Copies of this chain bind each other. A is one copy, B any other.
Amino acid sequence: MIGIFDSGVGGMTVAHAVEQLLPDYSLAYYGDIARTPYGPKSPKTIINYSIRNTEFLLDKGAELIIIACNSASSVATETLRKRFDVPIIEVITPAANCAIAKSTNGRIGVIGTRATVKSGIYHKTITTKKPDFEVYQEACPLLVPLVEEGWLNKRETKMILRRYLHPLKNKQIDTLVLGCTHYPLLQGLIQARIGKKVRLIDSSTETALYVKDFLNKNPTIVSKQKRVTHRYYASDKTETAMKVAERIFSRPMELIVS
């Protein structure tokens, strides 16, 4: 079974991609809605929550963990890898690899939560592989609440996006990493504001592709079951979360509060 966790419902964009790309595997998702959002919190707090989320999923039978949250991936990956024996896959490396492959001018933009941007993880991951690349980051802390409110096409959301993206507009980037699993829900608005020549990298899709490749190379890590199940657990359940979840999956969702 594949285990996936996130601070809330944003990581469901990863789970949705995993369901579609890896239909032969069972999946357990854990959304920590009771403590959402992680983005504005300190690394220590995010690490503590990530350990607890991983333990929950292992208890459900997970044989591989996907950290479907850029904030948690940024600060907690190392701790989780030291602490747990199963493979821990984070969302930064797949998105960074894709950005490196797609950029032709070596100028990459990254938008994310404050925790992700402050960690500098995208800068580090990209420039370790490509020392001559330039990476420009912008923290966009209000995008998560706007997405969670379902304000996906409101004038205020467009204005706030314009304000956040403005510093990146002068950097001649040709690639922009959506470094938060909530942001794919704003993909159209972001594309319109950053310009259609800039290629957007969706960390959710890239991570699902990365896991698919990983399981092709390591076919015994996760067992295939005759009857595939997709279970979605959460530490709290709210109407807003359900609405966002159903928007991501385009189907009624059942969320098990645990």
Contact = CB atoms under 8 A, between A and B. Distances in A.
A75 B240 CA distance: 18
Interface in A10-58: 33-35, 40-42, 44-45
Nearest to A159: B156
B236 A45 contact: yes
Contacts of A86: none
A157 B44 CA distance: 31
Contacts of A155: 159
A237 B41 CA distance: 8
A45 B45 CA distance: 18
A40 B156 contact: no
Given A35-B34, A145-B145, A41 B236 contact: yes
Interface string A200-215: 0000000000000000
A159 B163 CA distance: 14
A114 B41 contact: no
B145 A238 contact: no
Contacts of A141: 145, 149, 240
9 closest residue pairs by CB, A with B: A145-B145, A45-B236, A34-B45, A42-B236, A156-B159, A35-B35, A156-B160, A156-B156, A41-B236
Given A33-B41, A42-B238, A156-B156, 17 more contacts: A34-B35, A34-B45, A35-B35, A40-B240, A41-B236, A41-B238, A42-B236, A42-B237, A44-B236, A45-B236, A141-B149, A141-B240, A142-B146, A142-B151, A155-B159, A156-B159, A159-B159
9 contacts: A34-B41, A34-B45, A35-B35, A40-B238, A41-B238, A42-B236, A114-B240, A145-B145, A155-B159
